[in-house]
Structure 1
Amino acid sequence: MRITLAALLVSMVAVVSLGSARASESGQILYRLHCSGCHGLQGNAATVGGIPALAGNVGTFMKSAESRTFLTQAPGIMNSGLNDKDVATLMNWLVPALAKGSLTEPFKPYSVEEIAHSRANRPPDFFVARRKVAENLQKRGYALPNY
């Protein structure tokens, strides 16, 4: 009886620990699961599929409210199946981790509400929106690489 009770207790602790680990997935884990298939582990570009480099560029999107919102509207994020909280967690890891020198001001973390608003206002054509964002950033003296 004691062995059965001890085994049950150990099993319950393991289940609770597993649930806690899932509830607190880090942005890096979310990136590896949902983004690295296209951007690689280091946030690189890929010519096949026209995947832009995040590494060294993602901080440029923090230069305006428009471009900051646009970044969260990328097809990979919008189609990931992640909820708003997980997208905020992902983005709050991704930007500081991959921005390198492109993030020149302190990073303001994304809120769950900001992500929800971004998703509700998705542009009808992502690539047209990117060109507009890039042009507006360029007018302010910031350039994004072509892809």
Structure 2
Amino acid sequence: MIRRLLFTAAVAATAMPAMAVDTSSGRTAQTNYILKCVGCHGVDGHGFSEVGIPDFVNLIGTFAGDEAGRAYLANVPNVVGSGLNEDDVAEVLNFIIARWAGSSLPKDYRPFDGAEVARLHALDVGNIVDYRRVVAARLADLGIETAEYPWP
């Protein structure tokens, strides 16, 4: 456990210089995931539920198939603060969903695009933790499972 957290911290620290505003990275979505997301969600997409980082595997699609869930995904603080432009954010979100949504991917899923990400970034979602709780509770009421999220 400690070794995994230290590894994560080291990876995150090496990605810090890459957080400058990126108007056209020219990098693949997988490379941007490695640079911007792996520090929290890991190379396997399982996150670190013990410290409040949700698991993507067979769960991320539930948010991608819901309008409020899509707004949540686009407004996670490290997505907004990634320094990636909207097209690159859309590509990373699509990479994550294609790689890990698995059985949670809705039949009517549509990929993100830069215009949608720009529109979603303009929304005022307020406190993102509270927003996620509301979205997850509504999905749970519909019988849709979401990733564990132990934040108070």
Q: What SS class does the counterpart of residue 93 from structure 2 fall into?
A: helix
The separation in 2 between residues aligned to 1:59 and 1:48, in whole angstroms, is 21
The separation in 1 between residues aligned to 2:129 and 2:75, in whole angstroms, is 11
- State the 1:62 CA deviation: 2.4
Q: Which sections of structure 2, spanning at least 5 residues, go unmatched? A: 1-23
Deviations 1:63-101 (CA, angstroms, capped at 9, x unpaired): 321112211111110111111111011112111111111
Q: Which sections of structure 1, spanning at least 5 residues, go unmatched? A: 1-21
The separation in 1 between residues aligned to 2:91 and 2:114, in whole angstroms, is 9
Residue among 133, 136, 140 paired with 1:134: 136
Q: What SS class does the counterpart of residue 72 from structure 1 fall into?
A: helix
Instruction: Number of aligned residue pairs: give it.
Output: 126
The separation in 2 between residues aligned to 1:48 and 1:142, in whole angstroms, is 22
Q: TM-score, normalised by structure 2?
A: 0.75
- State the 1:29 CA deviation: 1.0
Deviations 1:97-132 (CA, angstroms, capped at 9, x unpaired): 111111131531111111001111142201100000
Q: TM-score, normalised by structure 1?
A: 0.78
The separation in 1 between residues aligned to 2:93 and 2:124, in whole angstroms, is 17
Instruction: Report which of the two structures shows the higher radius of gyration computed on alpha carbons.
Output: 1
The separation in 2 between residues aligned to 1:47 and 1:112, in whole angstroms, is 29
Percentage identity across paired residues of the two chains = 32
Query: Is 1:99 aligned to 2:107, yes or no?
Result: no
Aligned residue in 2 for 1:62 = 64
CA 26–129 in structure 1, closer or farther in 2 if over 3 Å, else same: same
Q: Is the 8 A contact 1:73 1:122 kept in 2?
A: no
